[in-house]
Amino acid sequence: MNPVQEVLDRIETGSAASLVAFLHGLNDDDRRAVARHLPAHLSERRRAGFEAERRIWELAPLYRLAGAACLSGAEQVASWLNRRELSGVEPKADAVQVMSVLGNRPLEWRRDLAVRLVRRLRPAPSGSTWRRVQSLRAWDLAAALVIETGVEPPENDAFVSGWVLRTVERHWMNNGIPVLADDRLLDHMLPRLFQAAGVADGLGWNPPWEGSRTIISELVELARTGRVPRQALLDGCVSRFLTGCDAAEAASFIKLWRALKPEAAEIPVTDFVRVLPSASSPLVQLALEELHRAESAGALEADLFAEAVQALAYRPEKKNMAAAVKWIADAPPARGAAAVAALAPVFDVDTPSLRERAVRVAVKLAPHTAEPDKEAVREAATRLPTDLRQRLAAAFGMVDEAEPEPMATVLTVPALPALPPPIVSVAELAAELDKPLWPQDPARIERVLSGLVELTHEDRDAVVAGLQPWWRANWQLPFEARAYAYGISGTDENIGFLLWRCALAIVSPSNSRELTALLNDDSSRWPSSEPAPQQFVQQRFREVLSLLERDETVPVLLATPTAPTGHVDATTLVARMERLGGADPLEYDFLQALLRLSRRIDPELAVRAERLPSEAGRRLAACLRDGGLPDPVVTWELGAFDRPASYHQSLQEAHARLAPPEGVPGPLAELWTLAPKTGYPAFSRNMVWWPSIMPSHREALAAHLLECLPSSGPVEVVAALAHNAGPAGIATASTIVVAMNHPSPAQRGLAADAMLTLVAYGELPAADLGRAVGHMVCGEQVKLNRITGVLDEVTAAGAHAHVWAALAQAVPLLLPGSGERARPGLGELLKVAVRAAVLAGARDDLPGLAELAARKGSSLLVHEARRLHETISA
């Protein structure tokens, strides 16, 4: 008989009974032979492919039996039983079977295996309690060995949480019948319940049957009968509370504590005071209830009372601050006065009613307050508004007014990344083309296009040879134009793919022409839905593509940027035109170069340009003499638009119109013509290109962005807009306001960056920004709370004067009229206005503010209206 083959044959039959009977009959030499061959056999079988791995999964229970019976060391058996490919077993049945082949092992060996299996347990994955129960794998065998051998299991949270989950399952399977009294692991588990992670959801599980027991209810009952020490449960809960557990984890232990109904004498007063500063909200609530019970029983000493209310007052939740103020107010004067210093942090709270109550309580307790505590109150009171500060000063002595917080007033423009040097070799060109096209990087694509054109002009054959690997790796060969035409017609507007097509036109002009013809077929081509700026970019790339498909070249592209903003240096442009000689440039490339000219041009360049021999040279000279292209006419309007039901419908939307100046060429006239439309708003995923199209015409670019931002929403383009040049007015301001409304805080942060950049340049249209905020909030196009947060951030960064200039325009538009209900969040905006006005030293008269400040009440809105009116009227 070959014992190894016999074992493998019995595994293959899938009969556990036959295998177990055979394993019991093996002698030591046979077991060692099986142990030598079994791991190698399993590894070899795994390498045989998917079907073999699936078969191993099916036969896992039998492989586990063979290894458990034959492998010699406890560590070997533990490792074997924890192999991933052998984990697909029913845990309880597997535990029974494996235990049946371990019975002849020595007791100490089995204890060693039990300890090793417990240490190897891992927590059940997150999810519902029932899903976690179903995910238990190795726990049952480890638990069976612990019970059978009586060994003390090592510390492992997964072993404890597994016990809790299995107990939940037993409740579930037994319709909630009690199961803990006779649980052989209970004494091991009880002290660890209050230390292990991952037990809270099982402890807190609620059975679906009315009147059924839970683990918590069973523990309480066992404490009543004496099976479980009651004090151990109380001490365990407190120890868990002191570990800083979160709300979800603390909930079960809070439930257990309440179910135990401790007497006032059993309340650990000091411990509950200690948890107040950092505990989760439910635990704070429990601690307060128990401390109040202890206080009623005379068990809360004065120093602990003072520590407790101070801990509450310093917590960030206003309800806890309010609880601290009420606790002090309700205490006897001598006791409350000992804790009066705890009111100091409440003086800084931004809820006027709570702050005023804290002042009233402090004033009432002033006669009973010791001098050191009075000094603490006076120090904190320096930050109070004038009226409250004066009330405290009358009771506690003179209170100085706090010095205004120092603010940065000099902002610097963040530097943009420098442009990389031009591509000068075919190898470098091929390497750049091999890089992914996404995410879009206009500077990189412009650089590659420029290198492609210039190197092809110098030596087309060298470029063709150098791009052969790229051609073979990225295009289907033999080339099937129809497959590409039908597969990419929707993406042919992507600039990165147009760049690839330019390279294709060099490597294989005939294939490129065939593809272009199919893509340009009017019967199959969808009309472009891209806005005018993106169509302008596309046309420039397509004219380069057409040039290369004709086997023609030009020595240089005129519009390749020379600055990170997309600008083209005027001197460089003239030099590029000189390289063309008398040849006419590509039209869109020429117009793009004119759009990218700086607004500061040396007049001497016009004289140099006049010597250019081409018609384009004369056009360039005229443009340089005029200081660049004229700006289009930008107008702004508010209107109601009929939008689809799936789109956010506001009462009014802000839009800009563009009208081209007289005499500009047709493509520029199309680019600078814009009117808002009903239906779905304009949309583009390619707005990253737009700032570099018109880097000297900021307001015109903003008009186009304003049409697309509400639906597309990439705020990075607004941050780039801030670095552009040219007029900045109501369209630029409106674009920034839309960006401030982005749902993502990170994206709203970019809107703040855009504002600060414009402030640093001295070009923020603050008054226009305020008007845009007022009208767009009133029209429900943007949300006031998002706008307020950005304005507060910009104020804190040092642009307080500009924020005040904006809010001086926005606030009158947003204030409620007589009998009108105030807009939600307006009080928070007025708070920002107060801060900006104080820092800017503003003096003004805002229509409607005095009337609002005169209203009765202590709401945040009225309170901040009074503060603002007092600040700017002083």
Question: What is the structure's pLDDT at 503?
Answer: 94
Question: What is the structure's pLDDT at 134?
Answer: 59
Residues with Cβ within 8 Å of 796's Cβ and at least 6 positions away in sequence, in order, are: 407
Rounded-to-integer distance, Cα 374 and Cα 368, Å: 10
Element containing residue 637 per DSSP (H, E): strand 633-639
The residue behind tokens 């006669």 is 367
Residues with Cβ within 8 Å of 542's Cβ and at least 6 positions away in sequence, in order, are: 498
Question: Which 3 state secondary structure label does DSSP give 654?
Answer: strand
Q: Report the mean per-residue pLDDT for the chain.
A: 88
pLDDT tens profile 635-687: 999 988 877 776 677 788 899 999 999 989 999 999 999 998 877 777 788 88
* Range 823-856 burial, b when 16+ CB lie within 10 A, else e: eebbbbbbbbbbbbbbbbebebebebbeebbeee
DSSP secondary structure code for residue 674 in this structure: B
Give how far Cα 357 sits from Cα of 242, 321, 520, 825, Å: 32, 11, 75, 23
Q: Report the predicted TM-score, pTM, of the whole model to 2 decimal places.
A: 0.68
Question: Which 3 state secondary structure label does DSSP give 638?
Answer: strand
Q: Which regions of the chain are under pLDDT 70?
A: 1, 49-50, 125-135, 176, 206-212, 402-409, 486-492, 522-527, 646-647, 710-713, 874
Beta bridge partners of 637: 655
In 213-268, alpha helices (H): 215-225, 230-241, 247-260
Residues with Cβ within 8 Å of 570's Cβ and at least 6 positions away in sequence, in order, are: 597, 598, 601, 602, 605, 624
Which tokens in the block code for residue 198? 């991952």
Rounded-to-integer distance, Cα 7 and Cα 30, Å: 10
Radius of gyration of the chain (CA): 39
Question: What is the structure's pLDDT at 58?
Answer: 86
Neighbours of 444 (CB within 10 A): 16
Give how far Cα 433 sits from Cα of 416, 438, 477, 560, Å: 24, 12, 18, 17
Question: Which 3 state secondary structure label does DSSP give 636?
Answer: strand
Q: What is the 3-state secondary structure (H, E, C) of 292-331?
A: HHHHHCCCCCHHHHHHHHHHHHCCCCHHHHHHHHHHHHHC
Residues with Cβ within 8 Å of 339's Cβ and at least 6 positions away in sequence, in order, are: 305, 306, 309, 310, 328, 331
Q: Are 606 and 625 in contact (CB under 8 A)?
A: yes
Residues with Cβ within 8 Å of 534's Cβ and at least 6 positions away in sequence, in order, are: 493, 684, 686, 687, 689, 690
Rounded-to-integer distance, Cα 277 and Cα 256, Å: 22
Question: What is the structure's pLDDT at 1?
Answer: 62
Rounded-to-integer distance, Cα 305 and Cα 303, Å: 5
Which tokens in the block code for residue 201? 């959801």
Question: What is the structure's pLDDT at 856?
Answer: 85
Q: Are 561 and 596 in contact (CB under 8 A)?
A: yes
Question: Which 3 state secondary structure label does DSSP give 29?
Answer: helix
Question: What is the structure's pLDDT at 819?
Answer: 79
Rounded-to-integer distance, Cα 39 and Cα 45, Å: 10
